[in-house]
Amino acid sequence: MADPAAETTIKVVCRFRPLNSSEVARGDKYIPKFQGDDCVHIAGKPYHFDRVFQSDTTQVQFYNAVAQKIVRDVLGGYNGTIFAYGQTASGKTHTMEGKLHDSDMMGIIPRIVEDIFNYIYSMDENLEFHIKVSYFEIYLDKIKDLLDMSKVNLSVHEDKNRVPYVKGCTERFVSCPDEVMDAIDEGKSCRHVAVTNMNEHSSRSHSIFLINIKQENSQTGQKLTGKLYLVDLAGSEKVGKTGAEGTVLDEAKMINKSLSSLGNVISALAEGSSYVPYRDSKMTRILQDSLGGNCRTTMVICCSPSAFNDAETRSTLMFGQRAKTIKNTVTLNVELTAEQWKKKWERENEKNKTLKNTVTWLEAELNRWRSGESVPVEDQFNKEQAKAEVQALDSTLNNDKTAPTPALSSPPGLKLTEAETQKYGAEMAKLYKELDDKDDEINQQSQLLESLKEQMLDQEELLGSSRRDHDILQTELNRLLAENEASKEEVKEVLQALEELAVNYDQKSQEVEDKAQEFEALSEELNEKSSSLASIDSELQKLKEMTNHQRKRVTEMMSSLLKDLAEIGIAVGSNDIKQQESSGLIDEEFTMARLFISKMKSEVKAMVKRSKQLESSRAESSQKMEEAEMELIAFQLRVSQHEAKIKSLTDSLQTVEQKKRQLEEHVDSLNEQIVRIKAQEKVNTMEKENEIQSAHEVKDAVEKQIQSHRQIHQKQISSLRDELDNKEKLMTELQDLNQKIMLEQERLKVEHEKLKAADQEKSRQLQELTVLQDRREQAGQDLKGLEETVARELQTLHNLRRLFVQDLATRVKKNAKMNSDDAESSAAQKQKICFLESNLEQLTKAHKQLLRDNADLRGELPKLEKRLRATAERVKALEAALREAKENAAIDRKRYQQEMERIKDAAKPKNMGRRASIAKPIRPGQLPGASPINTSVNRSNLIQNNQPAGIKGGGSNRNMHQCDETSE
Ligand code: ADP
Ligand code: MG
């Protein structure tokens, strides 16, 4: 407390690090030669410092020798500073910080922190301490607070004692070493976060750790303050050497600026220059007190021992030597109590008095000299004595707080009066104040600039994003246009397909008409056939009756004949006609009759067979009739189906026409929209070009546009989706139609098969009929032969009768001649002859009847032949019709298959187009403008996920239902 203001020089120590591994690997030479503990020789040249530390110095040794003492100074109310100066990788950070949490390797700062608290704990109980720390770095002459990242460009101000300080810098109150270490850790991590290349950054920036200690004695009320700056300077090498790639020239200049101004300040101080350029850089400004001011300063000169860094090491050592000459005036930072202030004032007053006395003495002496008098030595002003008096007074002013402000030293040869000095001092103070204000202003402006820059970046980003949006919208628009084109083409295709369908429908209706006509013809034919069948039936009935009749007659005839013959035999036997000639005749007659009977038998058999055949043919024809009836029913059904089909086709045609009309309208509206959108876009681009400054407005406008676009797009998309739905419906309908047609075709096929079978049956019948005809012809021929034989027999019978009559006549004549008694016998003979004659008449009648029957049968034969021919022709016609129907069915099937394929082909690209549109990627993190894609994608997903299923389900069900209805 009683220390007077003391002048001290800056303490400079030198520390050499060991050769590092890469230097060892390179085989670099270890150049320093140490002499004692305060001298080092480089290339034979000696450099003297307060201490020189060799490479094997440990952290604790270095701390104890250099920094420990400063703790006591700071806690005693003095300011202190420790600088680390040297080229990059010379061990500055190693010296200042070391490994912060390693008890062996930790550097000066953590050790000081620990010591300060330990020391405080050992001090007087009445002392109360307030410790606060600040941590900041200076990069490109900008002060950045490491405890608050938001403070990036702090300014330097002067306090009421004209001591510079960093204004607005975070001051953190701490109460234990851990809190200080936490602050350091925090600051270091902040520093790491903010930069990309930490090594490069730390080698180009100064980091300053400030510990501010205030103490108050609760008993005496004495207040002391001490500030300790711990400075890890930027690499002392020129930026050019390590290579400032990526830094522009101005930046390189700024990097070097603070260090070179430090050099200038030190040079000025070393040379004792009247003007020290502290204000050249923020760093020298902050450390103004540490360099030639009220501060105990230690500078650690860190050096590399490698021959490779020889030049840099030497310049570093030179710098240290220069700094060694700087003198600081150290005073105690004490806040005086009122009593102390009073005493001080009194002493100052006394001092003032002595000084005034001196001045009057000197003035008197001067006047004597001027008037030409020579003043004797004893009368002359005693400089030494006056000085001693003043110093004695000064020494009593032990609490002189205010450091002697750097005197406004006047240039040599120019003497200023006290008033002038004061005036200029005030002026200068004012000017400095203004300068600081300007600095502040500059700081504010630069912060404003930063914020504006940020805003600009934001705006640019916004602009970029809106541009991107615009691009996206453009692509979307293009896509929509393309889609529109595609849908137009699709519509065209659909229209074409519809036209084709219409044509097809026409063809189908034509076919239906043809079929109906055919059906009518067939039904007519069927009617004819049934009528002919009925006629044939009746004929058959007639024939049956006839054959029955004939059979009856024949049996009757046969029985009568047999009776006759028996009677004849009886008559012949009873009459005893034993005449040789006549008996031979009767034998002949018998044989003839037997022959006749056998022939008759065969004829009867043939007749029976024929009747059977006729019966079978009747059964067949009845079967045929049934089949024809069935066919009729089938045809009727087909006609009804065709009618229903025609109805449904006309309905579908109508709906398709309506749809076509709608689509055309839609296309027109889309075209209009496109035109509108294009116009809007043009306007937008114009606006964008013109109004970059009013980006917000543009953004709003863009957003509005985007919204409107989105709405339009949504509308378009929904309409397109409707269209798609309609088309899908149409497709399903068409498919149903096709299925129906296929079913029809199959049915036709079955019918065809049936007809084929019928045809075969008919051909078989034809064959049978031809066989029947052959047989009939044969029977005819047989009958002819029979007739002939019957005729011949009749002739022979006639002859026999004639002979018999002649014989009888001759016999009667002979008998009359020879024997008149035989009159009674002749009467019996006459009776017999009568009987025979009647028999003969009957036989002739039967013969005649047979002839007539034969003629009748012969007349019937051509009729039957004709009928047969007609049925054969009909069968042929039916066959031809069947073939035609088959061919038609084949053509139909082919056409429908083609149509189906075409429809499928038409449907395929539609689906693919939709898939392509689905396949569009989604981009995250975009502005609302980009959302249309999202929504479209979502929508398309929806379409994929929900709608088709719904549509398919509903539509197909409905269609199925329709199909069922039609088929029913
Ligand atoms: P600067 O801060 O000057 O750029 P550093 O302090 O980062 O240099 O030191 C560079 C390297 O050299 C570090 O790895 C450090 O551990 C090592 N180093 C520096 N000085 C010494 C020393 N005296 N003893 C051992 N290693 C050292
Ligand atoms: Mg470093």
Residues making up the annotated binding site are 86-93
Ligand 1 atom nearest residue 302's Cα: 3
Percent of the chain predicted with pLDDT > 90:
26
Residues 318 and 270: their CA atoms lie apart, in Å, by 12
Residues 29 and 43: their CA atoms lie apart, in Å, by 12
pLDDT digits (tens, 9 = 90+) for 416-448: 677 888 888 888 888 888 888 887 887 788 788
In the block, residue with structure tokens 């009647």: 838
Residues 927 and 534: their CA atoms lie apart, in Å, by 92
Q: Which residue from 98, 78, 99, 81 is spatially nearest to 4, judged by alpha carbons?
A: 78
* Ligand minimally distant from the alpha carbon of residue 89: 1
Listed range (232-236, 569-573, 661-665, 820-824) with the worst mean pLDDT = 820-824
Q: What is the mean pLDDT of residues 570-583?
A: 58
Ligand 2 centroid to Cα of residue 225, in Å, is: 30
Residues 386 and 390: their CA atoms lie apart, in Å, by 6
* Ligand minimally distant from the alpha carbon of residue 108: 1
Ligand 2 centroid to Cα of residue 235, in Å, is: 8
Query: For residue 107, what pLDDT is reported?
Result: 95
Query: Would you say the C-alpha torsion 482, 488, 491, 493 has a positive or negative sign?
Result: negative
Q: What is the mean pLDDT of residues 255-274?
A: 84
Ligand 2 centroid to Cα of residue 82, in Å, is: 15
Task: Please answer whether residues 181 and 101 qualify as being in contact, where contact means their C-beta atoms are separated by less than 8 angstroms.
Answer: yes
Ligand 1 atom nearest residue 57's Cα: 23
In the block, residue with structure tokens 């519509």: 491
Ligand 1 atom nearest residue 86's Cα: 3
Ligand 2 centroid to Cα of residue 450, in Å, is: 28
Tell me, letter by letter, the H, E, C secondary structure of 531-590. Answer: HHHHHHHHHHHHHHHHHHHHHHHHHHHHHHHHHHHHHHHHHHHHHCCCCHHHHHHHHHHH
Query: For residue 914, what pLDDT is reported?
Result: 36
- Res 735 pLDDT > 80: yes
Protein residue with least CA distance to atom 11, ligand 1: 89
Ligand 1 atom nearest residue 15's Cα: 23
Ligand 1 atom nearest residue 84's Cα: 3
Residues 464 and 75: their CA atoms lie apart, in Å, by 58
Q: Which residue from 753, 733, 757, 763 is spatially nearest to 889, judged by alpha carbons?
A: 753
* Ligand minimally distant from the alpha carbon of residue 15: 1
Ligand 2 centroid to Cα of residue 6, in Å, is: 33
Query: For residue 574, what pLDDT is reported?
Result: 59
Residues making up the annotated binding site for ATP are 86-93
Task: Please answer whether residues 39 and 16 qualify as being in contact, where contact means their C-beta atoms are separated by less than 8 angstroms.
Answer: no
Ligand 2 centroid to Cα of residue 33, in Å, is: 25
Tell me the C-alpha to C-alpha distance, in Å, between residue 281 and each of 35, 143, 265, 442, 667: 37, 11, 10, 14, 74
Ligand 1 atom nearest residue 232's Cα: 2
- Residue scoring higher pLDDT (105 or 710): 105
Q: Using the CB atoms, write b or e for 71-110: b if 16+ within 10 Å.
A: bebbbbbbbbbbbbbbbbbbbbbbbbbbeeeeeeebbbbb
Ligand 1 atom nearest residue 59's Cα: 23
Residues 58 and 44: their CA atoms lie apart, in Å, by 26
- Res 666 pLDDT > 90: no
Tell me the C-alpha to C-alpha distance, in Å, between residue 881 and each of 641, 745, 756: 20, 16, 11
* Ligand minimally distant from the alpha carbon of residue 104: 1
Residue 270: pLDDT band (50, 70, 90) is: confident
pLDDT digits (tens, 9 = 90+) for 849-891: 888 888 888 888 888 888 888 888 888 888 888 888 888 888 8
Query: For residue 53, what pLDDT is reported?
Result: 95
* Eight-state DSSP code of residue 274: S
Ligand 2 centroid to Cα of residue 203, in Å, is: 6
Query: For residue 248, what pLDDT is reported?
Result: 55
Query: For residue 960, what pLDDT is reported?
Result: 38
The CA-based angle 120-123-124, given to 5 degrees, is: 130
Protein residue with least CA distance to atom 8, ligand 1: 89
- For a mutational test of ligand 1's pocket, the pick from 30, 94, 97, 312, i.e. the residue with the most ligand atoms closer than 8 A to its C-beta, is 94
User: What value does the mean pLDDT of the chain take?
Assistant: 81
Protein residue with least CA distance to atom 20, ligand 1: 91
Ligand 1 centroid to Cα of residue 203, in Å, is: 12
Ligand 1 centroid to Cα of residue 91, in Å, is: 4
- Residue scoring higher pLDDT (560 or 107): 107
Query: For residue 584, what pLDDT is reported?
Result: 65
Percent of the chain predicted with pLDDT > 70:
84
Q: What is the mean pLDDT of residues 369-379?
A: 81
Task: Please answer whether residues 624 and 760 qualify as being in contact, where contact means their C-beta atoms are separated by less than 8 angstroms.
Answer: no
Protein residue with least CA distance to atom 19, ligand 1: 91
Query: For residue 550, what pLDDT is reported?
Result: 85
* Ligand minimally distant from the alpha carbon of residue 300: 1
- Residue scoring higher pLDDT (396 or 530): 530
* Ligand minimally distant from the alpha carbon of residue 302: 1
Protein residue with least CA distance to atom 17, ligand 1: 91
Ligand 1 atom nearest residue 62's Cα: 23
Q: Which residue from 252, 218, 257, 259 is spatially nearest to 236, judged by alpha carbons?
A: 259
Ligand 2 centroid to Cα of residue 89, in Å, is: 7
pLDDT digits (tens, 9 = 90+) for 65-101: 999 999 999 998 999 999 999 999 999 999 999 999 9
Q: Which residue from 526, 479, 445 is spatially nearest to 755, judged by alpha carbons?
A: 526
Residues 629 and 662: their CA atoms lie apart, in Å, by 49
Q: 576 — alpha (psi -120 to 50), left (phi > 0) or beta? A: left
Residue 917: pLDDT band (50, 70, 90) is: very low
Protein residue with least CA distance to atom 16, ligand 1: 94
Ligand 1 atom nearest residue 96's Cα: 6
Ligand 2 centroid to Cα of residue 81, in Å, is: 18
pLDDT digits (tens, 9 = 90+) for 13-29: 999 999 999 999 999 89
- For a mutational test of ligand 1's pocket, the pick from 16, 17, 199, i.e. the residue with the most ligand atoms closer than 8 A to its C-beta, is 17
Listed range (275-289, 661-675, 681-695, 705-719) with the worst mean pLDDT = 681-695
Protein residue with least CA distance to atom 24, ligand 1: 17
Q: Which residue from 12, 25, 14, 19 is spatially nearest to 309, judged by alpha carbons?
A: 19
SS3 219: coil
Q: Which residue from 23, 527, 86, 5 is spatially nearest to 319, judged by alpha carbons?
A: 86
Ligand 2 centroid to Cα of residue 45, in Å, is: 28
Ligand 1 atom nearest residue 16's Cα: 23
Ligand 1 pocket at CB < 6 A = 17-18, 20, 86, 88-94, 203, 302
Residues 256 and 71: their CA atoms lie apart, in Å, by 32
* Ligand minimally distant from the alpha carbon of residue 87: 1
Ligand 1 centroid to Cα of residue 89, in Å, is: 6
SS3 554: helix
Ligand 1 atom nearest residue 203's Cα: 4
Protein residue with least CA distance to atom 5, ligand 1: 91
Task: Please answer whether residues 172 and 149 qualify as being in contact, where contact means their C-beta atoms are separated by less than 8 angstroms.
Answer: no
* Ligand minimally distant from the alpha carbon of residue 235: 1
Ligand 1 centroid to Cα of residue 17, in Å, is: 7
Rg (CA), the chain: 72
Q: Which residues surround ligand 2, an ion (CB under 5 A)?
A: 92-93, 202
- Res 920 pLDDT > 60: no
